[in-house]
Structure 1
Amino acid sequence: MPELPEVETVRKGLVTLVQDKTVAEVIVRWPKIIESPAVDTFCQKLIGQVINDIARRGKFLIFEFTDFDLISHLRMEGKYEYTPKNTEAPVDKHTHVIFKFTDGSQLSYHDVRKFGRMALVEKGQYPFYKGIKQLGPEPVEEEFSLQAFEKKLQHSSSLIKPLLLNQKVVAGLGNIYADEVLWLAKIHPQQPARTLTKKEAESLHQAIIAILAKAVRAGGTTIRSYKNALGEAGFFQVSLNVYGKTGEPCPRCETPIKKIKVAQRGTHFCPHCQKLKRRKLS
């Protein structure tokens, strides 16, 4: 699944490609992609609408049209492909939504697994969309409060790895980057969240901000089918320290990286740098 850095990279690419374009026609080839309103209404309302900007909240993309906000979640393998005017647009069984623009160009949504979803809401109402209103803060210094993060850790009965995957705690963090931030902060993925010391919580907080910022700068991580809106692969995979590195030496201590299952998710860590610490639960 694309995580925050990948979605942010897609957003930036889409802005360069479709900002200020006017919709001439919308074709929906797989109706279940559209959550609301009804498909015919969805298509009709977008005709004549201009894409003023494209925003992001967590892993959600928000197309800001003249009178509406279109909320898009890529889920596992959704992606957008842009076709310039006077160019034949590729359409296959994985092409589910097509936005045709008045200048002859078009934007297509492709999704092998058909898990992605779109919803059209009134202008300015996207913060109240069910999947967005429960999101935690964005993982940036200005919004991600250390004090609030420490409080969530202290009041949680969860292990730290699944807690980091909870979008109510911090938005946009997924399996890849959860492994990476825990490695950077030297915390075992099965450490109970409420047993973290103040120093560990501070290290983890800073690691989340630092790793995600670095990944955004690198254009995200290419795992399987991820590409950005310009058809380019991300480059952060060359900077991964533990994810997908089972058996390879830890960059810090050269101990072989180990892979285990934590809350049904494949989890990579260094057994030497990230020791599970037995502490009494508060």
Structure 2
Amino acid sequence: MVVSRQQAIKTHDHIDFVFGKDVILRYNDPRRFGAVLWTTDPIAEHKLLKDLGPEPLLADFTGTHLHIRAKNRKVPVKSFIMDSHVVVGVGNIYANEALFMAGIHPLKHAGQITLAEYDTLAECIRTALANAIQQGGTTLRDFVNEAGKPGYFQQQLRVYGRTGLPCVQCRQPLQEVRLSNRSTVFCLSCQP
């Protein structure tokens, strides 16, 4: 977030980038998902970046990309789309929401999904992420955006965090399982 020199350093503030007399870009990372690295090598060749999948909001992320990468894979599709080597930026909440929008059961093997289903899923991932960005992110506990404000996407969540509540489409109770120690919420009726 952009702060002034007078703003006190808080817990989880890790680095200040100082611009001019009184403008600081402060890196705050309470969950420690990020990193700040310095390199003089080409960025695309850095060991932490070179094997990453495409950014889901760019043109090279397609259903075809997912379908090719999923060939013969027996991993659950939810784990597959959360793998940063397949696609970056699809976290747990957005994976739940995109799979619901696409009507795909999260435990279905990635290799069993058709190209048409992956085309739909790719579009649903883009939609979920774009909506979240437009709403300023998802605040479940302590997330705030660069302006220190909470995100409002949680008010649009259709499955995540709604275990046992009626499905917004069919009114059947939403189910939850743990997958890779993450909450996975889905509708048995809408996501067969």
Same fold (TM over 0.5): yes
> 1:138 maps to what in 2?
55
- Equivalent in 258, 267, 271 of residue 188 of structure 2: 271
Task: Determine the C-alpha separation between the residues in 2 that align with 1:112 and 1:145.
Answer: 32
Does residue 84 of the first structure (1) align with residue 1 of the second (2)? no
Is 1:205 matched with 2:122? yes
- C-alpha distance in structure 1 between counterparts of 2:74 and 2:91, whole Å: 20
Which deviates the most, 140-149 or 252-261? 140-149
**Distance in 2, Cα, partners of 1:84 & 1:257:** 46
Higher alpha-carbon deviation: 266-275 or 113-122: 113-122
CA contact (8 A) 1:220 1:236 kept: yes
Alpha-carbon separation, structure 2, partners of 1:270 and 1:97 = 42
Deviation (angstroms), 1:141: 5.6
1:194 paired residue among 111, 115, 119: 111
Q: Which residue of 2 aligns with 1:148?
A: 65
CA distance in 1, matches of 2:95, 2:172: 20
Deviation at 1:138, TM superposition (A): 1.4
C-alpha deviation, 1:164, in angstroms:
0.8
Change (3 A) 1:253 1:93: closer
Task: Please give the TM-score of this superposition, normalised by the length of structure 2.
Answer: 0.89
Tell me how large the CA RMSD over aligned residues is: 2.0
Match for 2:63: what amino acid?
L
Tell me the amino acid that sits aligned with residue 100 of structure 1: V
Contact 1:250 1:257 in 2 (8 A): yes
Question: Which one-letter code corresponds to 2:20 in the other structure?
Answer: T
- Of residues 241, 254, 260, the one that matches 2:177 is 260
Q: CA deviation at 1:194?
A: 1.0
Instruction: Tell me what 2:75 maps to.
Output: 158
- 1:279 corresponding residue in structure 2: none
1:32 aligns with none
Identity of aligned residues (%): 35
Find the aligned partners of 2:171 and 2:37 in 1 and give their Cα distance. Answer: 47
Find the partner of 1:118 among 36, 48, 52.
Answer: 36
Partner-residue secondary structure (3-state), 1:228 = coil
Unaligned runs of 5+ in 1: 1-80, 276-282
Q: What secondary structure, in the 3-state scheme, does the structure 2 residue paired with 1:120 have?
A: coil
Residues 78-113 of structure 1 deviation map (CA, whole Å, 9 limit, x = unaligned): xxx43235xx22124533323333322323333445
* Correspondent of 2:157 among 223, 240, 248: 240
Instruction: Flag the structure with larger Rg.
Output: 1
> Which residue of 1 is the match for residue 97 of structure 2?
180
Structure 1 residues 204-240: Cα deviation after superposition (integer angstroms, max 9, x where no partner): 1221122222222222211222111111111211111
**Could you list the per-position Cα deviations for residues 244-263 of structure 1 after superposition, in whole angstroms to 9, with x for gaps in the alignment?**
11121111101111111112
Is the contact made by 1:189 and 1:262 (CA closer than 8 Å) also made in structure 2? no
- Per the alignment, in what secondary structure is the counterpart of residue 108 of structure 1? strand
Taking a change above 3 Å as real, the CA distance of residues 149 and 267 of structure 1, as seen in their structure-2 partners, is same
CA distance in 2, matches of 1:113, 1:173: 16
